[in-house]
Amino acid sequence: MNILFSGASSFTGHWFGRALADEGHRVLGLFRKRSAAAYEETRRRRVETTSQLHECAFDCTFGEKRFLEIIRSHNWDVYCHHASDVTDYRSPAFDPIAATRNNTLNLKSVLDALEASGCTRVIFTGSVFESGEGQGGEGLRAFSRYGVSKRLSWEIFLFECHERGLQLEKFVIPNPFGPLEEPRFTSFLANTWKDGRAATCHTPLYVRDNIPVDLLALEYGDFVQDPETRFCYPSGYIESQGRFTERVAAEFRARTSWDCRLEPTEQSDFSQPLIRVNSQPSQIRQPDWDEKRFWDDMVEFYRAP
């Protein structure tokens, strides 16, 4: 298939593009900045690696002139809308309305151009942290303003695709982790232990769905190749964050000389839903996935200088 893929510089975008290319599809990954050199640190490393895996187009922002020109210059089977405005997405100042506007910029023109190119399917990446997704309590409310923007963007895509008869599908991401990830919880753990210090999990009672990124990518690849399935809710390690922290520590201890000490703490912040997870166990759905190899690669990534 000819696949147009936005958001290719992101952590999951890199792994998804890799999975699709490994299946033999022609993938064109879209990047907002002018070149790989314009990115910094881990993202730059991802982009440099991605450019060796499939075709790339730079200086291309969703909905803008160059984006539309690229659509019109080829015939496409599938458009994967993985791009999302995540600028300061954890900040209370994050503006969900502005983010939604960026996520859906000139959407009518984009969808018209895709339809004219022969594209019949649009695959939207959602998040378990948006309202109405996943399993848990508290009415499945959005976790954050970022979650609000994802839901609003989905609703706009849903309406506009329906108007045109385009098939819209949704792949809902839980909490991925693995090599080439930005500084987040698992990278904090690894780097803390690498420095010989004890790590702390401040939210040990939250139950979350942490999924190895290469397992998630296998699920994404299968989903894109299956036009009959409209929604996918891949799931990894469903457990408390305290238990997940212990899991990561055990895997690192088994592969390094690090102590991987954990400093117990009582949770005081309960501002987020206690439980939010996905519903389709990916290890059952992907029997050929190599869990040991994932952890080997994960540890090696953080052990490297």
Q: What is the pLDDT of residues 102-129, one digit of tens each?
A: 999 999 999 999 999 999 999 999 999 9
Identify the burial level of 16 via C-beta atoms within 10 angstroms of its C-beta, where 0-12 means exposed, 13-18 middle and 19 or more buried. buried
The 10 Å Cβ neighbour count of residue 41 is: 9
Nearest CA-CA partner of 74 in 106, 116, 110: 116
Q: For residue 212, give the nearest of 129, 295, 101, 98 by alpha carbon.
A: 295
How much is the pLDDT for 138? 86
Q: Is the dihedral of CA 86, 88, 91, 92 positive or negative?
A: negative
pLDDT of residue 90: 85
Say what the pLDDT of residue 242 is: 98
Q: How far apart are CA 158 and CA 167, in angstroms?
A: 9
Q: What is the pLDDT of residue 258?
A: 98
The mean per-residue pLDDT over the stretch 225-240 comes to 98
The pLDDT value given to residue 305: 80
Cβ pair 230, 170 in contact under 8 A? yes
Average pLDDT, rounded, for the chain: 97
For 83, phi and psi rounded to 5 degrees? Answer: -70, 145
Distance CA(38)–CA(57), nearest Å, equals 14
Nearest to 241 by CA among 281, 269, 218: 269
Q: Find how far residue 39's CA is from the centre of its chain.
A: 18
Structure tokens at 205: 């009672």
| Exposed/middle/buried for residue 187 (C-beta within 10 Å: 0-12, 13-18, 19+) | middle
Quote the tokens at residue 110.
């984009």
The whole-angstrom separation of Cα 244 and Cα 13 is 24
Looking at residue 89, its pLDDT comes to 86
Q: H helices of the chain, where?
A: 11-22, 41-50, 65-72, 96-103, 107-116, 145-164, 185-194, 213-224, 241-253, 282-285, 291-303
Q: How many helices, marked H, and strands, marked E, lie in the chain?
A: 11, 14
pLDDT digits (tens, 9 = 90+) for 35-88: 999 999 999 999 999 999 999 999 999 999 999 999 999 999 999 999 999 988
* 88-277-171 Cα angle (round to 5): 70
Mean pLDDT for the stretch of residues 141-164: 97
